[in-house]
């Protein structure tokens, strides 16, 4: 049987690449110097795209593959896939939900703790000799007992909130409506009112055109000079220019971010700020989770080409 031809948008670990190469003809888009020429050459033969959450598949890439049947995303977020183009042509889309939920929640909570207690600066305080030279490290803010808001109580938001309950935090959330699985947590529909109430504000919302900049100047200023914003979703959920302005002027206390507009490049204004924690989009980045994501991404492709139901379809 001839192996289906797949356009691969970014690299995967060897434990995924080897089985992919065995089952399919993989065309590595990310290594092509001239991407236009590469697409023009292989696009007409491509039946599947293997991509990652943040890389997705643009309308242009999809249009260059007239025989495209399926796009398999290594990641839960599929906002970077042009769904309109897929719907118009009946192209199936799959993602990797559930397997990454708890690791993403863990990193969000870890960022809150590390940032609130100043752990990165504290490490530098020890290594630089400041501890011996200057004495006690400046006092930081407590986490337990304070108010945590979760914007988007889906799978990841729910796991964040469950973890925060273990820190005896007061929890409130916003979503499309109250959730029956949110017992003991307050529902505050309006994202601005939620920020007004909160000390810590977790953004755990699936990104779409409708949620773009849902965390804007009003939310950021309602959170205020003592508040902390934590983003483990997508950069597009936050108005980054408003965030930078507020961090620079102290209208927002601090932020802990795993995602950035235009990543892996990021706005250099972030680098000059002492009140922001910067992480390289690795909330799902554990060996265990990435292996499960790779397996599920491959299982979706295999099922499609074997004519079986897709394990985790989004379209
Ligand atoms: C990435 C993610 O896919 O799940 C998502 O939506 O953004 C991540 O898990 C991961 O960085 C691999 O590229």
Stated as kind and residue range, the H or E segment containing 174 is strand 170-174
Rounded mean pLDDT, 11-36? 98
Long-range contacts of 307-310 (CB under 8 A, 24+ apart): 310/70, 310/92, 310/94
Do 5-99+288-306 and 101-278 fold alike per CATH? yes
The answer, yes or no, to whether any atom of ligand 1 lies below 6 A from the CB of 78, is no
Query: Using a 6 Å cutoff on CB, does residue 74 contact ligand 1?
Result: yes
Ligand 1 within 6 A of 100 CB? yes
* Cα–Cα distance, 238 to 228 (Å, whole number): 13
Whole-number percent of the chain with pLDDT over 90: 100
Question: Hey, where are the domains in the chain?
Answer: 5-99+288-306, 101-278
Render pLDDT for 239-298 as a digit per residue (tens, 0 to 9): 999 999 999 999 999 999 999 999 999 999 999 999 999 999 999 999 999 999 999 999
Beta carbon of 97 within 6 Å of any ligand 1 atom: no
Assigned CATH class of 5-99+288-306: alpha beta
Arithmetic mean of pLDDT, 191-205: 98
Instruction: Please give the pLDDT value at position 1.
Output: 73
Between the CA of 56 and the centroid of ligand 1 the distance, in Å, is 10
CA dihedral 54, 282, 242, 156 (to 10 degrees): 90
Please give the positions annotated as active site.
234, 263, 281
Question: In CATH, what is the architecture of 101-278?
Answer: 3-Layer(aba) Sandwich (3.40)
Angle between helices 101-116 and 155-165 (to 10 degrees): 50
- Say whether pLDDT at 195 is over 80: yes
Distance 156 CA to ligand 1 centre (A): 13
Query: Distance, CA 78 to ligand 1 centroid (Å)?
Result: 9
Q: Which of 81, 284, 288, 294 to mutate to test the pocket of ligand 1 (most atoms within 8 A of CB)?
A: 284
**Other Cβ atoms closer than 10 A to 133:** 8
Q: What is the pLDDT of residues 131-183, one digit of tens each?
A: 999 999 999 999 999 999 999 999 999 999 999 999 999 999 999 999 999 99
Find the 138 Cα to ligand 1 centroid distance in Å: 35
As beta bridge partners, residue 278 has 257
Decide whether any atom of ligand 1 lies within 6 Å of the 77 Cβ.
yes
Mean pLDDT, residues 84-107: 98
Q: Per the structure block, which two tokens stand in for 240?
A: 């980054």
Q: Is 52 close to ligand 1, i.e. is its CB under 6 Å away?
A: yes
Burial 170-204 (b: 16+ CB within 10 A, else e): bbbbbbeeebeebeebeebeebbebbbbbbbbbbb
Q: Whole-prediction pTM value?
A: 0.97
Of ligand 1's listed atoms, the one at least distance from the Cα of 234 is: 7
């Amino acid at each position: 049987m001839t192996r289906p031809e797949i356009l691969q948008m970014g690299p995967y670990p060897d434990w995924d690449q080897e089985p992919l190469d065995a089952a399919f003809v993989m065309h590595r888009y990310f290594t092509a110097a001239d991407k236009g020429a590469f697409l023009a050459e292989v696009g007409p033969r491509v039946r599947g795209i293997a991509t990652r959450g943040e890389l997705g598949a643009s309308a242009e890439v999809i249009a260059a593959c007239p025989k495209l049947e399926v796009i398999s995303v290594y990641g839960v977020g599929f906002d970077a896939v042009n769904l309109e183009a897929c719907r118009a042509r009946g192209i199936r889309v799959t993602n990797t939900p559930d397997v990454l939920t708890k690791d993403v929640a863990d990193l969000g909570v870890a960022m809150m703790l590390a940032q609130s207690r100043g752990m990165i600066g504290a490490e530098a305080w020890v290594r630089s000799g400041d501890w011996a030279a200057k004495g006690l490290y400046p006092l930081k803010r407590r986490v337990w007992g304070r108010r945590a808001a979760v914007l988007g109580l889906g799978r990841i938001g729910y796991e964040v909130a469950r973890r925060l309950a273990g820190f005896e935090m007061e929890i409130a959330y916003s979503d499309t409506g109250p959730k029956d699985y949110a017992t003991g947590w307050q529902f505050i529909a309006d994202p601005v009112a939620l920020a007004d109430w909160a000390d810590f504000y977790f953004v755990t919302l699936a990104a779409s055109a409708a949620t773009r900049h849902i965390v804007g100047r009003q939310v950021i200023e309602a959170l205020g000079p003592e508040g902390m914003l934590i983003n483990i979703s997508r950069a597009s959920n936050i108005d980054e220019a408003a965030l930078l302005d507020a961090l620079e002027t102290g209208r927002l206390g601090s932020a802990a971010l795993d995602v950035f507009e235009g990543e892996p490049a990021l706005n250099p204004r972030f680098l000059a700020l002492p009140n922001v924690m910067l992480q390289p989009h690795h909330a799902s980045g554990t060996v265990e989770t990435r292996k499960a994501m790779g397996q599920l991404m491959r299982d979706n492709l295999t099922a499609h080409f074997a004519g079986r139901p897709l394990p985790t379809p989004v379209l």
